[in-house]
Amino acid sequence: MSGLRELQKEMRRQAIADAAIELFQRQGFQNTTIEQIARHAGVSAPTVFKYFNSKQEIILEMLKEADNRAVLDLRDKMREFDDPVDTLCHLESLLVSYSLEVLPAPLWRELLPLILSNEREGLPQAYREMNAALQAQIANVLRDLQARGKLHAGLDVELTAFLLNDYSHLQLLRLVSAAEPDREAHARQVRLTTQLIFQGMRPD
Global pTM?
0.83
Which CATH number is associated with domain 53-198? Answer: 1.10.357
- CATH fold group of domain 1-52: Arc Repressor Mutant, subunit A (1.10.10)
Q: What is the 3-state secondary structure (H, E, C) of 123-182?
A: CHHHHHHHHHHHHHHHHHHHHHHHHCCCCCCCCCHHHHHHHHHHHHHHHHHHHHHCCCCC
Residues 198, 150: Cα–Cα separation, whole Å: 10
| pLDDT reported for residue 15 | 92
* Residue intervals in the chain for CATH 1.10.10.60: 1-52
Tens of pLDDT, residue by residue, the chain (204 residues):
567 778 888 889 889 999 999 999 899 888 999 999 999 999 999 999 999 988 888 888 888 899 999 999 999 999 899 999 999 999 999 999 999 988 888 888 888 777 766 555 556 677 888 888 999 999 999 999 999 998 888 889 999 999 888 888 788 888 988 888 899 999 999 998 888 887 765 665
* Residue intervals in the chain for CATH 1.10.357: 53-198
